[in-house]
Amino acid sequence: MSRFPLAFLASLPLVGALLFAARPVPPRPGAPAGRVPVVVELFTSEGCSSCPAADAALRELETTQPVAGAEIIALGQHVDYWNRLGWHDPFSAPQFTERQRGYARAFNINSYTPQAVVNGRAELVGSQRSRLLEAVAQAARQPRATVALAAAGPGQLTVRVRDLPAGTGAATVLLALTETGLASQVGRGENDGRQLRHAAVVRALRPLGPVGADGQFAATVPLRLDAGWQRGHLRAVVLVQAAATQHIVGVADLPLGAATE
């Protein structure tokens, strides 16, 4: 596990170059009936030598779905504070660093990589498979909102939320777009010379708005897709996240496919 204070990392000079290649991987199908979607967010970096094992663990869990009654939805979020240590991660963004900092405040810990956060309720080292399975099983037993996500014609999605769990308080609806099958040939830093394969990489994450005082939310939202993304490997994930606790209290996902046409 690699732990670096962000203030320390920010003081280092920025060096690195950028290469990435896509490796075709079929997108995960929708969650089978009766399975509860559980989000596993992995905060990772291609510059971190401890991170490939966590990426591999999450890819395996996403592919095999080993937790009875749960459907693991992977969100690989590449932080940018490793970029100053020799390799610029092409999938990194300050937004993901800030999201991880928000969790650090909620858990009263320091940020580190690779860090997994399960439904905003538990955090752990991302390569610890047995603990991940336990945290996913526990999250699947928690009360959850009803979330519906569907295509609404070319380039649009409809999102509906209702029935927030009691005591949730204020909550925000977020939309993440992920892409599977991504890999990089790393040319510098701790992973120099390695080809790294990733779990579903978050390409975009944006808030859609707050849940109303009546516990409901409804919106039709446009898809904003980069021309370089592999459209057949894209998935939309809607999160309902409590403001006070950072718990994710509702999830829905959808392979984009025809919604991007």
Is residue 17 in some structural domain?
Answer: no
| Mean pLDDT, residues 125-138 taken together | 97
Is residue 27 in some structural domain?
Answer: no
Give 203-220 pLDDT, tens digit per residue.
999 999 999 999 999 999
Is residue 64 in some structural domain?
Answer: yes
What's the domain count of the chain? 1
Taking 50 as the threshold, does the pLDDT of residue 21 lie above it? no
Give 47-86 pLDDT, tens digit per residue.
999 999 999 999 999 999 999 999 999 999 999 999 999 9
Is residue 162 in some structural domain?
Answer: yes
Give 219-248 pLDDT, tens digit per residue.
999 998 999 999 899 999 999 999 999 999
For residue 27, whether the previous peptide bond is cis, meaning omega lies within 30 degrees of 0, is no
Is residue 15 in some structural domain?
Answer: no
Do the Cβ atoms of 45 and 120 come closer than 8 Å? no
Is residue 7 in some structural domain?
Answer: no
User: β-strand 36-44 against 115-118: which pairing, if any?
Assistant: antiparallel
List the domain range (segments joined by +) for residue 235. Answer: 35-260
Is residue 1 in some structural domain?
Answer: no
Specify the pLDDT at position 260: 53
Is residue 11 in some structural domain?
Answer: no
- Dihedral (CA of 65, 186, 103, 163) sign: negative
Question: Where is average pLDDT lowest: 2-6, 93-97, 157-161, 164-168?
Answer: 2-6
